[in-house]
Structure 1
């Protein structure tokens, strides 16, 4: 197979959560272990950081990868899902895995894949680990896909586990309470391995403390160690001051990631750097600051409060659960604009009764859908939104919805695109963006 055929094979032959939903979610790690054993356990041949959480794990992963790169370490980065190119999932020092590497892996291991019958995610995890091992990375930053305990990435034994926060998402698989969800995310905590929890939350702190104690894993809450506050928001950067507990003065960091919610992610990043230094990593403060100014350019992160155009201003964000929407709406509130236009689409498994009441009634909505079975049809979203007083229209595609928004928007208006990672991906494609 050539590259296009290899990727088509992955998409067409293997169960995909993004396409098929819960039916593609595996209830144990058997397939991943079998794949890794057949590949000579590549996950044991590189050092790693493991990152889980309901929101912020992608940004946190990219920030830490950028910092490790700036410090001179050959750094692997595994994240999901991708936006425009399958290869976004697997990077070394910001560069996408080569098409040839993907093709060779599938051609070489196709009999193994067909014997084990793994999911799409299980294969991509094994592919990433094999690539990082063969390319001899110094360290790899590994983001979980869903949950933690049963996530395919959970076969690694990292130097450090990071859990950003806990909120309601994928409740049909992870549990209906914050405590249940926290228990699943805490499944990445390994015996004796330090764990950083980004946000101290009273509802779930007991769960983390119990599991960390059972595993004899040192636990620290980053938000209790670092106080972060915005100082200004410029054209290219937002500026955050971070003050370590017990210190009289703080440090100012310029971030090219403009979402205000990055103030919640920064403490976990700084705490992780502190622990890595204690483990012998040479990471200078100037390298941390340099890296945070160029995360998007260095690691290719897209879709996090990303400005796509001006006059009218077009911004997208991949936040798609209740907590994510709170952060998105806070960003919209402080973004100067005349009228708000919202290009929105969601997956069928999202709780509309929790999401729709949050959305502003004075915006104009363009509901849309992506071409996958999990997508909620735009007409159904329009009907549900009307019951909450939201005025809009249904469009057959993201490109069509975006075009309609652009036609109706004045130069000083704001067009926001979101509701799903896949809506953002289609918008980026429609506007000509590339990985």
Structure 2
């Protein structure tokens, strides 16, 4: 099989969460354990960092990769879902694996795949572990797929665990309270292994503290140790000031970041503490490496879709935020801009509470609702039915491109166009 045939085989043979939703999940670690046992336990052959949370885990993973790359390490990076190509899930020093890696892996292990019948995500995780082991990476950053406790990535024994934040998402699978969701996320905390929590919340902190105590794991609430403030946004980068909240670690430093979303401020405190912990563990990450990595993350890791500016006249931004917490941050940032009219190009998957999300957006905006190429996409007919309950100025489109074209035709140079609502919407933009 060539690459396209191989991908078609995986999509046809294995249930894919990002295409069909929860029915694709196979809870438990039995399949991934069986796969990796057959592969010679590749996940034990490299050091790793485990990154979980609701929002910010992708940005945190890429920022850490960029910093470690800048410090001279050979860094594996496994994230999901991909935007354009499946190979994006398997990067080394920011470069996706070659297509032949996927082809050769599936060809070599086709009988194993058909025997175990794993999910699409399980085979992706196994492929990542095998690839990183074969390439002899110094360290791999492994992003949790969903939850944590029963996530397929949770068979690694990392040197550091990071939990970015907790918000409401996938409640049908993880629980409908923040405490329940944080219990699942806390499943990545390992015995005697430090864990960094990027954002403290009164409902989730006790869960993390209890899990850390049970695991005898050093725990650090990064936002209690550091504060980060935005100073300016210029030349495609955001300048930040990092200050200490503890007298024991006096610090007042400035740094630039090329991921300009204001919500990245919450991720930076976790990054700052994680670098400190890694250096205490024996890594050698200089201040210069931190500066270079943060200022050039998008370029060093080929990271896309996070407050990505598509044009400046009119200002047009795409972002993959798709749950309540992420969209709250996004709308706050939109409101920080000075513009005449707001145009929103939005699409959603079927398992999102669209009726709960829509009130977050300004009612005086012009809405361009669209669908996209996925079985999980809300169709135009479904969108019309949902939106009928709201008094909005809106129109409907059968694809993302035509919706964005309509927004651009209606916008003046002083307007603002936002594209999002789903990772799928952003992935179908030709500019990405």
Deviation at 1:394, TM superposition (A): 1.0
Question: Cα offset for 1:249?
Answer: 4.2
Q: Give CA-to-partner distance per residue, 1:269-327, whole Å, 9 cap, x none.
A: 01110000001101100110111000000001101000012322210000111111111
Residue 165 of structure 1: aligned partner: 165
What RMSD over aligned residues (CA atoms) do the two structures have, in Å?
1.0
**Aligned ranges for residues 301-316 of structure 1 at < 5 Å?**
301-316=303-318
- What CA distance in whole angstroms lies between the structure 1 residues aligned with 2:127 and 2:337? 41
> What's the secondary structure of 1:26's corresponding residue?
coil
SS in 2 for 1:239: strand
Aligned-residue offset at 1:213: 0.7
Distance 1:208 1:184 in 2: 10
What is the SS of the residue equivalent to 2:321?
Answer: coil
Residue 361 of structure 2 corresponds to residue 362 of structure 1:
no
Q: Work out the number of aligned pairs and report it.
A: 430
1:161·1:189 contact (CA, 8 Å) conserved in 2? yes
1:118 Cα offset (Å): 0.5
Q: Which residue is equivalent to 1:346?
A: 348
**How much has 1:19 moved relative to structure 2?**
1.0
1:192 is aligned to 2:192: yes
Aligned equivalent of 1:176: 176
1:351 Cα offset (Å): 1.1
Distance, in Å, in 2 between the alignment partners of 1:11 and 1:142 is 22
- Counterparts of 1:107 and 1:131, CA distance in 2: 14
1:323-338 alignment to 2 at 5 Å?
323-338=325-340
CA distance in structure 2 between the partners assigned to 1:196 and 1:345 by the alignment: 33
User: Secondary structure of the residue that 1:309 maps to in structure 2?
Assistant: strand
The DSSP-based 3-state class of the residue aligned with 2:345 is strand
Residue of structure 1 in register with 2:98 after alignment = 98
1:385–1:391 Cα contact (<8 Å) kept: no
Q: Give matches, 1:107-118, under 5 Å.
A: 107-118=107-118
**Residue equivalent to 1:119:** 119
* SS at structure 2 position matched to 1:270: helix
Structure 1 residue 384 displacement after superposition? 2.1
Question: SS in structure 2 opposite 1:209?
Answer: helix
* Partner of residue 258, structure 2: 256
Deviation at 1:248? 4.7
Between the aligned partners of 1:11 and 1:28, the Cα distance in structure 2 is 21
For residues 196-217 of structure 1, the C-alpha deviation after alignment (integer angstroms, 9 at most, x for no partner) is 1110100111111111111111
Q: Residue 383 of structure 2 aligns with which residue?
A: 381
Helix, strand or coil for the counterpart of 1:417? Answer: strand
Aligned to 2:60: 60
Cα distance between partner residues in 2 of 1:119 and 1:164 = 26
Distance in 1, matches of 2:27 and 2:348, equals 25
Q: TM-score, normalised by structure 2?
A: 0.98
CA distance, structure 2, for counterparts of residue 96 and residue 352 of structure 1: 33
Q: Distance in 2 between matches of 1:222 and 1:382?
A: 43
Equivalent residues of 1:68, 1:283 under 8 A apart: yes
Once the two structures are overlaid, the 10-residue window that deviates more, 308-317 or 95-104, is 308-317
Question: Structure 1 CA distance, aligned partners of 2:197 and 2:26?
Answer: 26
Other structure's SS at 1:349 match: coil
CA drift at 1:406? 1.3
Counterpart of 1:70?
70
Aligned residue in 1 for 2:225: 225
| Residue in 1 that maps onto 2:155 | 155
- C-alpha separation in 1, matches of 2:309 and 2:10: 32
CA distance in 1, matches of 2:385, 2:131: 46
Q: Which residue of 1 aligns with 2:23?
A: 23
Give SS of 2:371's match: coil
List alignment gaps of at least 5 residues for structure 2: none
